[in-house]
Amino acid sequence: MRRPNGNIVAALVLIVILAMIVIYSIEFEELLYRYFSTKNSTGSRTPLLVYFGQHIWMVLVSSVIAVGIGVGVGIFATTKSGEEFRDPLLKVVNLGQAFPSPALLALVVPILGYGYEGALIALVVYALMPIVYNVVVGIQEVPEDIVDAAVGMGMTPYQLYKKIKIPLALNVILGGIRTALVINISAATLAAAVGAGGLGVLVVNGVRTFDMVLILQGAIPVTIMAVIAELLLKEAQSRLSF
Amino acid sequence: MIEMQNVTKSYGDFKAVDNLSLHVDSGELLVILGPSGCGKSTTLRLMNKMAERTSGTIKIKDKDIDSFVEEDLRKGIGYVIQSIGLFPHMNVWKNIATVPQLLGWENSSIDRRVDELLLLVGLKPENYRYKKPSQLSGGEAQRVGVARALASDPDILLMDEPFGAVDPINRLRLQKEFRQIQRRLGKTVVFVTHDIDEAILLGDRICIMNHGKVVSLDTPENVVLHSKDDFVDSFFKGEGILTILSRKNVGDYMEEIPWEGEEIVQDSTLKEALSLMLLTGEDRVPVKGGSISFNRILQVVGRDINEKA
Ligand SMILES: Nc1ncnc2c1ncn2[C@@H]1O[C@H](COP(=O)(O)OP(=O)(O)OP(=O)(O)O)[C@@H](O)[C@H]1O
Ligand SMILES: [Mg+2]
């Protein structure tokens, strides 16, 4: 069963690189200045580690909440009692995925105010879209005859979900979570605009002061994180689904 | 064992099953035969509540099926669906173990049971136990489907064209093996097919359906040879008589007259003996311990024909 594993190896390499960037942030900054900027404005700022921590925390919390709610709502929509909600829900979720994330954040601020909570909720809502969509579609796509056989053997609805529907839909469900996570990692950058911290602070400040180095300092770790998440979840998908 | 009284199943205005009554005795193999769309699968699914009847009563072991918890009713009845429906994410062991696991059996007894069933359907346990359904041929998958339905040793089996996907040669072997298994275990079986030969070969009785109704319900011999119904006649079109011969063993009709040539065994069917006569051009073939003649076969069929005429 052991096969050489490209995804895992690549992810590990990227994790090491990311760790180096965070640990040796000063050297990283100097390196960037050498190539991307003429002015040298190394001042004492909040260390990269802090922004990095805020960013990861925001992504993790919002993703865990979104997975919990999304999987729950998605499963409910595929049950008999959730049948009426299914089509409207799919429409909303589909539209939601097309809704620009900055606009969503902008909508949240007037309602929830500036800061961490607002950003978190926006991220949760945004991550919900692909998760709910994939849970519903994944479960709906489980072949009719397999469900028929399972019910015919006397499985209760709970056993049907646990033993048949969810395992068979797992690949698609994990695909949704993967999309949500990647989107969230980059969307969390915008959270800085509503004062929620994270690596986005660097990017936002960089854009404001036309400082290429600042932008890259924020953007590079975000990109690496997104790629790592993508690789790890791809791997999980190929391992957990049959 | 199974009793259906005036059962109707409507989809809107359309009656898939129309005021149908039948009963299946304990240990009997009842075949439901009929053209596509005549309501065979629906009839079967009414018995384990996979379809809810519109009216009428159904009793299993003298108890109204409404008095069972649905899941318990189904756990007690083996069911092979038309498209097999093996679980693709589970290996053969897990597929077969499904119902025993639902019933909370211990793993050691499930292990024993799975091996026993694989042997029963002619698959070597050590080769097949851990295969995934995607690694099985159509015929192997259907055997596993049958083994899975037998797993918890239910008294009743509902089988919806279980051998539909098997090639003709293997199908015949499966049919014969299944017939023996069913006899040996004394299972009550309702077996749906639209294959005439399969129906004649397997059935203790054949229930012929059309447009959701029972057209005829009788032994294969009577259905084939004494039908008074135009639909049944047109359905069989004179076919089936050779298959009647394949239900009968040479050993029961042979004579102790020695005959030269390559012997067939007593377990051979009259159909095989007849084929051999056509091949050799002789009207008698040697059987271990004697021989059988063409006239004898004519008599056998003749007696069947005249019995009721
Ligand atoms: N869920 C359903 N809704 C509406 N009509 C149905 C439904 N299930 C079956 N029918 C109709 O009922 C009739 C009988 O169907 P059934 O599946 O019992 O046929 P069958 O005899 O098993 O045919 P086949 O040999 O093709 O499997 C068909 O005309 C079919 O279209
Ligand atoms: Mg059918």
Tens digits of per-residue pLDDT, A107-117? 777 787 777 88
pLDDT grade, residue A4 (50/70/90)? low
Q: How far is B143 from chain A (nearest CA, A)?
A: 15
Task: Give residue ranges of B with CB < 8 Å to any A CB.
Answer: 48, 50, 71-76, 79, 81-89, 98-99, 102, 132, 148
Instruction: Say if A82 falls within a structural domain.
Output: yes
Give the pLDDT mean for B80-108: 92
Chain A partners within 8 Å of B71 (Cβ): 154-156
Decide if A153 and B79 are in contact by the 8 Å CB cutoff.
Answer: yes
One domain for residues B46 and B111: yes
Find chain A residues with C-beta within 8 A of B76's C-beta. Answer: 154
Angle at B141 between CA B135 and CA B145, to 5 degrees: 140
pLDDT higher than 70, residue B308: no
Domain final position from B184, B207, B240 = B240
Spacing, Cα B164 to ligand 2 middle (Å): 11
Q: How confident is the model at residue A133 (pLDDT cuts 50, 70, 90)?
A: very high
Asked whether residue B136 falls in the same domain as residue B213, the answer is: yes
Q: Which CATH number covers residue B292?
A: 3.90.1280
A24, part of any domain = yes
Determine the structural domain holding residue A53 and report its residue range: 6-32+48-240
Task: Count Cα atoms within 13 angstroms, Cβ side, for B106.
Answer: 2
Share of chain A above pLDDT 90, in %: 42
Examine the domain organization and report whether B67 and B36 are in the same domain: yes
Residues B286, B218, single domain; the answer is: no
Is the pLDDT confidence value at A127 over 70? yes
Residue of B71, B85, B148 lying closest to A148 (CB–CB):
B85
Chain B residue whose CA is closest to A242: B89
What does pTM read for this prediction? 0.83
d(CA B89, nearest CA chain A) in Å: 5
* Average pLDDT along chain A: 86
Do B184 and B302 fall into the same domain? no
Do B111 and B41 share a structural domain? yes
Give the whole-angstrom CA distance, residue A104 versus residue A217. 25
Ligand 1 lined by B45 (C-beta under 6 Å)? no
C-alpha B5 chain-centroid distance: 23
Pairing type for strands B2-11 and B55-60 reads antiparallel
Query: Ligand 1 in contact with B9 (CB < 6 A)?
Result: no
Reported as a single tens digit per residue, the pLDDT across A35-56 is: 776 565 555 467 788 888 889 9
Is B74 close to A148, i.e. CB distance below 8 A?
no
Q: Are residues B126 and B172 in the same domain?
A: yes
Assess whether B290 and B172 both reside in one domain: no
> What is the DSSP code (8-state) at residue A190?
G
Q: Are residues B8 and B112 in the same domain?
A: yes
Q: Is B190 left (phi over 0), alpha (psi -120 to 50) or beta?
A: beta
Residue A186 lies in a domain: yes
pLDDT digit string, tens, across residues B241-268: 777 888 888 888 888 888 888 888 888 8
- Residue A1 in domain: no
Question: What CATH number corresponds to the domain at position B100?
Answer: 3.40.50.300
Residues of A in contact with B130 (CB under 8 A): none
pLDDT single digits (tens) A82-118: 888 888 888 888 888 888 877 877 777 778 777 788 8
Domain membership flag for residue A109? yes
Q: pLDDT digit string (tens) for B118-129? A: 988 888 999 999
Please give the mean pLDDT across all residues of chain B: 87
- What is the residue range of B44's domain? 2-240
Res B237 pLDDT > 80: no
Q: Are residues B186 and B92 in the same domain?
A: yes
ipTM over 0.85 threshold: no
CA B7 to chain centre: 23
Amino acid A171: pLDDT: 92
Residue A38 placed within a domain: no
**What confidence category does residue B309 fall into, taking pLDDT thresholds of 50, 70 and 90?**
very low
User: Is residue A235 in a domain?
Assistant: yes
Contacts 24+ apart (CB under 8 A), B68-75: B71/A154, B71/A155, B71/A156, B72/A154, B73/A154, B73/B48, B73/B49, B74/A151, B74/A152, B74/A153, B74/A154, B74/B48, B74/B49, B74/B50, B75/A153, B75/A154, B75/B99, B75/B102, B75/B103, B75/B152
State the average pLDDT over residues B224-244. 75
B10 or B242, greater pLDDT: B10
C-beta of B37 in contact with ligand 1 (< 6 A): yes
Q: How many CA atoms lie within 13 A of B162 on its CB side?
A: 33
pLDDT of the residue at B57: 93
Q: Do B74 and A153 touch (CB under 8 A)?
A: yes
Count of the separate structural domains present in chain B = 2
Task: Name which of A144, A147, A153 to mutate to probe chain B: the one with the most chain B Cβ atoms within 10 A of its Cβ.
Answer: A153
Which ligand is nearest the CA of B81, by number? Answer: 2
Number of domains in chain A: 1
Distance from CA of A114 to the nearest CA of B (A): 48
CA dihedral A211→A214→A218→A220, nearest 10 degrees, is 80
CA distance B190 to chain A (A): 15
CA distance A125 to A63: 10
Q: Is residue B15 within 6 Å of ligand 1 at its C-beta?
A: no
Nearest to B198 by CA among B24, B84, B44, B29: B29
Ligand 1 pocket residue status of B40, Cβ below 6 Å: yes
Is the same domain home to B271 and B224? no
| Chain segment B170-214, per-residue pLDDT in tens | 788 888 888 888 888 899 999 999 888 888 889 999 999 999 999
What is d(CA A8, CA A230) in angstroms, rounded to the nearest whole number? 11
Token readout for A201 is 């602070």
Domain boundary among B240, B270, B297: B240
Cβ of B102 within 8 Å of Cβ of A153? The answer is yes
Let me know whether B155 and B171 are in one domain. Answer: yes
Instruction: Name the residue at shortest CA distance from atom 1 of ligand 1.
Output: B11
Any ligand 1 atom below 6 A from CB of B246:
no
Phi, psi of B257 (to 5 degrees): -95, 120
Contact between chains at A149 and B48 (C-beta distance less than 8 A): no
Question: How far, in whole angstroms, is CA B12 from its chain's centroid?
Answer: 31
Provide the pLDDT for residue B305: 54
- Joined together, the tokens standing for residue B261 give 């040539």
Residue A42 placed within a domain:
no
CATH code for the domain in which residue A236 is found: 1.10.3720.10
Pairing between strand B205-210 and B29-33? parallel
